[in-house]
A and B are shown apart, each in its own frame.
Chain A
Amino acid sequence: MLMTRTTRRELHLGLVFISPWIVGFCVFTLYPLLASLYYSFCDYDVLSRPVWVGLLNYRDLFTDEVFWKSLGNTLVYASVSLPMGIIVSVMVAVLLNQPVPGRGIFRTLFFVPSILPLVAVAVVWLWMFNTRFGLVNEVITAVLPASWGQGPNWLGDERWVKPTIVLASLWQTGGTVVILLAALQEVPQQLYESATIDGGGAWVRFRHVTLPMISPVVYFNLVMGIINSLQVFVMPYVLLGDTGGPNRSGLFYSMYLYQNAFSFSQMGYACAMAWLLFVLIMGLTWLATRGTRGLVYYGGA
C-alpha cells in the first residue's frame, strides 16, 4: 500500500511519541521473555556462559518426581481454592450489597485484609495455625467435645497442609469482592422488579437475574483466579519454608521454580519450568473461555 507524505510523516511522528513505551517493552519485557526461552534450552547457572543442551531440561523435568509433585499440589490447590474463592466472594458481595445499616463499615472491613502485605498476613496465620498455642485450635478445643481430641497439626501434618493454605487464601478475597460489588450495582433494578412481579423469590432472582448479569465479572475473576492460583507462592513459602512442609505436601510449582533458580542456581531448568507454566496457564484459560462461552452474558453484544 502506498502512503502519502502526510500519512508517512504522521506515522513517524506517532512512532516517536510511543517510542518510550516500545523501547521499554522491548528492553524490559520482550528481551527477558525471549532470553528465558533461550535459557530454557541451556545449562545456565547465571555466573558462567549458558551451554546449549537442547531439550535436556524439559526431558529432565518429565522424570523429576518433585516437579510432578509440585504440579499436582498446585492443581489440587487451584481446583479447590479457586471455586471456593469465587463462591465465597460472590456470597460476600451479595451480602454487602444488601441495604443494611453500617454497610460502608462492613465493606471496608472485608476489603482491609486485601491491602495488607501478604508476608505480614502469612506470619499472622503462622501463629493462628500453631498446633499448641494457635487461636484456631484454641477455638476448636473450646467448641468441640474433648473426646474428639485436639485440633489438627495444621502445618505439620501432610493431610492438613493444603487445606490450611486454602483456608488462609480465602481470607484475602477483598479485591474480588469490590469488583463484584461494582458489577452488582450495575444490575438494572427493573429486572428485579419484573422478576418479583412474576412471583420470583430471592433465590430465583439471584439465580436468573443477578448471576447472568454479573457473569462477565465472574468470568474475569475466574481467569485471574486461574493465573493467580497456579502461581501461588508467598503464603506457602512463608508458612512452610523452602522444602514446602512435611513430605513436600505444600511445595507448589512457583516454589520449586524459585528453588531451582535461586537456591540451586539452575536457571535453565527454572526457565523451562516457567515456560511450561505459561503453556499450562494459556491452555487452562482457553479451556475456561471455551467452557463458559454459553454462560457469560455480555449485554447487547
Chain B
Amino acid sequence: MHIEVTYWDKWTGFELDAMRGVVEDFNQSQDRIRVKLLPVGRIYEKTMLATAGGNPPDIAGLGSAVVPSFAERGALMPLDRRLREAGIHQDDYLPVLWDACSHRGMVWALPSTPATLALHWNKQLFKEAGLDPDRPPGTLDELHSDALKLTRVRIARNGQTMELTYPELTEREKTDRRFELVRVGYLPNVPGWYDAMWPVWFDGQWWDGRDKATANSPANIAAFMWYASYAEQLGRENVARFASGLGSFASAQNGFLSGRVAMVQQGVWMYNFIEKLAPGLQWGAAPFPGVDGVLPTDKSYTLVESDVWVIPRGARHPDEAFEFLKYASSPQALEKLCMGQRKFPPLVKVSEQFVASHPNPYIKVFIDLAHSPRARTWPKLGIWTEYQNEIKVAASRILSGAGTPEEALGEVQRRMQRKLDRQTQRWKLIGDDRLREWESEM
C-alpha cells in the first residue's frame, strides 16, 4: 500500500514526457510513494481555485512570476524547514532564481526548468542583405540599422508594383510610408508576449522594491520610446497589418520560422520550434543588446524566468510531496529533466557533459546569460498580474499612437500606485498574523 501524491503541471508534448520520465524514476526508486502527474491547462487559476476550495494537488508546477502573489495570498506552504532538513541549499542555485522563489523572508518554491531570453537571428537573410551572418548586432543602433537593411517592402512606383529593400526607397517614399511590409528585420512587438520586459534592457524597473511603483521612470519611458520607434518609422498601420498576418507561434507560419521576421527576442525554448517546424533554418543566438551596448554574454541583459514546484496550502501529503521535490532537485534529476525539455538546470554548476551533449548549439549563451548580474526576473509583486495587464494596455496604446510613452506609462503609474497602496494597507492589517501563521507552519 503506497501513498499517492498528486502533481499538476502545465506541460504537454515532449516537455510532459521529460517530466514524466523523472516522475517514473522516482516512483521506481522506492515503493512507499507513488507520484501521479496530471497535465492541467490554465494551471494558475485552477491551482488557486482548488487551493481555495480546500482540495489542492500535493505538488503544482507554477511559474516563478506568480510565487509572490500565491505566497502572499496564503496559497502556498513555506518550505524553509524542509529545505534545511533535506540539505537543499541556496548556494547551489542561480541566485536570481532562488531570490524569485522567496518572498517576505521565506522560500516558497523550488526552481525546475529555467529559461533566459536572447536574440535569435536568421543567418540566411543576413547573407542576402549583405550583412555578416556571424555577427549579430551588438548595440541597439546596430540592431536598428541591420533591421532596416533586412526589411523588404512592396510598393507602387511609376504605376508598377515592385519589391524593394527599405534602404532602396527614396526619402519621399520613406516618409509617405505607402508600402506593404513583406519582411521585417526586427519588430519589438513580434510576437508581443512580454510587453513588460523591455525596461530590463534599459536598466529600468517597474517597482522600487518596497512600496513605490516606478512605471514612468525615465529609463522606462526610454524603453517604450524605443519600442514604438520601429512602428513609427515603418508606419503604424503597415506594422499592425503585417503583424496580424503572421501565423500562430507554434506553426511553420511563425514570422521568424517562415523568414518574414529576420530577428526575434526569444527564450531557450525557441530551438525546439526551429528543430520541429523549420529544421533547415540557419540561425544563431546571442545576447540582445541593451543601452550599454556590447557586453560579454555573462554580463549581458536578459529576462530570466523559471518553472517552479510548489506545495499548495492544504495539500494532503506535504511530506511525501517534498520527498519527490527533494529527489527531483538533485543535480542528476534536474539535468535529466532540463535536457529532456532542452533547457538548462537552475543550478550554479552544470556538468560539462550536459553542455556538450545538449542538442541546442547555443545552450551556452543561455546558461551564461542566466549567470549575468543583469539577468532580471519579473518584479516580485503581489499585484504583478494586474500590473502586467496594465502595461500590456499601455504598450498597445503607445504602439498605435493613441498615447505617448509619458502619458500611457503615467497612467499605469497612477493606477498601480493606488493598487500598491491598497496592498500595503492590507498587509499592515493582516501582515503580522500572516507571518506568525507561516512561521508556525514551517
B240 touches A243 (CB 8 A): no
Residues of A within 8 A of B (CB-CB), count: 29
Chain B binding site: helix, strand, loop or mixed by DSSP? helix
Instruction: State A274–B419 Cα separation when bound (angstroms).
Output: 20
B397 touches A242 (CB 8 A): no
Identify A153's interface contact among B75, B240, B415, B422, CB under 8 A. Answer: B240
B135 — which chain A residues lie within 8 A by C-beta? none
- By size class, the interface of chain B is 20 to 34
Instruction: State A174–B75 Cα separation when bound (angstroms).
Output: 45
B389 touches A132 (CB 8 A): no
Identify B244's interface contact among A51, A65, A131, CB under 8 A. Answer: A131
Identify B241's interface contact among A131, A155, A247, A248, CB under 8 A. Answer: A131
Please tell me if B386 contacts chain A, counting CB pairs below 8 Å. yes
Known pairs A247-B393, A263-B385; A157 contacts B73 (CB<8 A): no
**One of A41-49, A78-86, A109-117, A285-293 contacting the partner:** A41-49
Instruction: State A133–B245 Cα separation when bound (angstroms).
Output: 7
Instruction: State A43–B240 Cα separation when bound (angstroms).
Output: 40
Closest CB in chain A relative to B114 CB, distance in Å: 25
A48 touches B240 (CB 8 A): no
Type the 1/0 row for B386-420, where 1 means its CB is closer than 8 Å to any CB of A.
Answer: 10010011001100101100000001000100000
Instruction: State A289–B209 Cα separation when bound (angstroms).
Output: 55
A43 — which chain B residues lie within 8 A by C-beta? 426
Closest CB in chain A relative to B316 CB, distance in Å: 17
Please tell me if B51 contacts chain A, counting CB pairs below 8 Å. yes
Closest CB in chain A relative to B243 CB, distance in Å: 8
Please tell me if B52 contacts chain A, counting CB pairs below 8 Å. yes
Which residues of A9-64 are within 8 A (CB) of B?
43, 45-48, 51, 60
Closest CB in chain B relative to A39 CB, distance in Å: 13
Type the 1/0 row for A122-150, where 1 means its CB is closer than 8 Å to any CB of B.
Answer: 00000000111100000000000000001
A264 touches B397 (CB 8 A): no
Please tell me if A158 contacts chain B, counting CB pairs below 8 Å. yes
B400 touches A247 (CB 8 A): yes
Chain A residues with CB under 8 Å of chain B are 43, 45-48, 51, 60, 65-66, 130-133, 150, 153, 155-158, 242-243, 246-248, 259, 262-265
Chain B residues with CB under 8 Å of chain A are 45, 48-49, 51-52, 69, 73-75, 237, 240-241, 244-245, 313, 383, 385-386, 389, 392-393, 396-397, 400, 402-403, 411, 415, 422, 426, 429-430
Beyond A51-B426, A66-B415, A153-B241, 15 additional pairs, beta carbon < 8 A: A46-B49, A46-B52, A47-B75, A48-B430, A131-B245, A155-B244, A157-B240, A243-B389, A243-B392, A246-B402, A247-B393, A247-B397, A263-B45, A264-B385, A264-B386
13 contacts between A and B (CB under 8 A): A47-B48, A47-B73, A66-B415, A131-B240, A153-B241, A157-B240, A242-B389, A243-B392, A246-B397, A246-B402, A247-B397, A259-B389, A263-B386
